[in-house]
Amino acid sequence: MKEQNLHSSISHIILGTWAMGGNHWGTCDDADALRAIETAIDNGINTIDTAPVYGDGHAEELVGKAIRGKREKIFLATKCGLDIYTNKYQRNLSPSYIERDLAESLKRLGTDYIDLYQCHWPDPQTPIEETMSALMHFHKQGKIRYIGVSNYTLAELEAVMRCTSLFSLQSHYSLLERTVESDVLPWCRKNDVRFLSYGSLGAGILTGKYVECKRFPSGDARSFFYRFFKPRYWPRVCQLVDAMKEMALSRGVKPGVIALVWLLQQPAVTSVIVGARSAQQVQDNIPLGGVNLTDSDMRLLDHLSQKVYAKEQ
């Protein structure tokens, strides 16, 4: 490891690579994906988030190709604990599985260390103490620099912190998914744990690209992972997006930028993960500098966001 040359902090925008894996999001062209990664790096995004389950290793392989020769400029985050080797994707955070998962990720990424290694989902079959002990072991070996978790509840986070210090929590958070605000976000702020949002653009809805409530094939993540792709919510989703479009137009940016700025103006949010499959998608979401939302903007977005899931009268 060459820690003296590594970034000690992560960029506010993190490039997400789930869609690049080629499963759960429709097809993705590898050449476009590589250009997206290169464009992100060239425009100051120093952090890339990936996982073995994204295309059963394919996304990690693409990231490995893109960062070859640039490794010391990148804060590289990946995950462990979803078994891609049995095709069942069962949660497995046992020490033996983590050892295998880490070794395979290092090969695919073409590196000998991971900056941020995250438990992808909690594993109820493995005691948290055993999982954290394994991660601390690999930290001491120099194979991982920081330990993070993803999708953990407040109780699970507290259990982790009884074992070791925690660098970050990655969880679902956007104008269309605000469950974490009740307990997890305040806890992260109180305990100085970085919060990284995924689903930051509402699976694309908050970019304004959908003119109607789209239906997706059953294997597509948008058909099962996100609750807001349902016709009963669509009129109120459209009200929210229309307001974002007006705010974006007055600032000369895309609506997705408004969604990201809203997140970054939340006190506990450190960085927002933004998925992309092309260089253009990366460029659409980069111009954050100088873009701010006023108190009245924030109140309006908060009101329209809360209305999306309000009980119908």
Instruction: In whole angstroms, give the CA distance from residue 131 to residue 5.
Output: 29
Please write the tens of the pLDDT for every residue from 244-254: 999 999 999 99
Structure tokens at 150: 């993803």
- Cα-Cα-Cα-Cα dihedral of 103, 105, 111, 115, to 10°? -100
Instruction: In whole angstroms, give the CA distance from residue 12 to residue 114.
Output: 19
Please write the tens of the pLDDT for every residue from 285-296: 887 778 999 999
Among the ranges given (223-237, 260-274, 284-298), the one the predictor scored with the smallest mean pLDDT: 223-237
Residues facing residue 275 across a β-bridge: 16
pLDDT grade for 212, boundaries at 50, 70 and 90: confident
Instruction: In whole angstroms, give the CA distance from residue 270 to residue 10.
Output: 8
Q: For the chain, which domains are there? A: 3-212+255-291 (3.20.20.100)
Active site residues: 54
Mean pLDDT (whole number) for 36-55 = 95
Q: Is the pLDDT of residue 153 over 60?
A: yes
| Nearest CA-CA partner of 112 in 33, 6, 271 | 6
**Helical (H) or strand (E) element with 16:** strand 13-16
Structure tokens at 71: 């490794």
Please write the tens of the pLDDT for every residue from 164-203: 999 999 999 999 999 999 999 999 999 999 999 999 999 8
The pTM assigned to this predicted structure is: 0.92
| Nearest CA-CA partner of 170 in 190, 193, 189 | 193
Residues, the chain: 313
Largest Cα span, the chain: 59
Mean pLDDT (whole number) for 118-136 = 98
Q: Is the pLDDT of residue 14 over 80?
A: yes
Which amino acid, 124? P
Q: Is the pLDDT of residue 313 over 50?
A: no
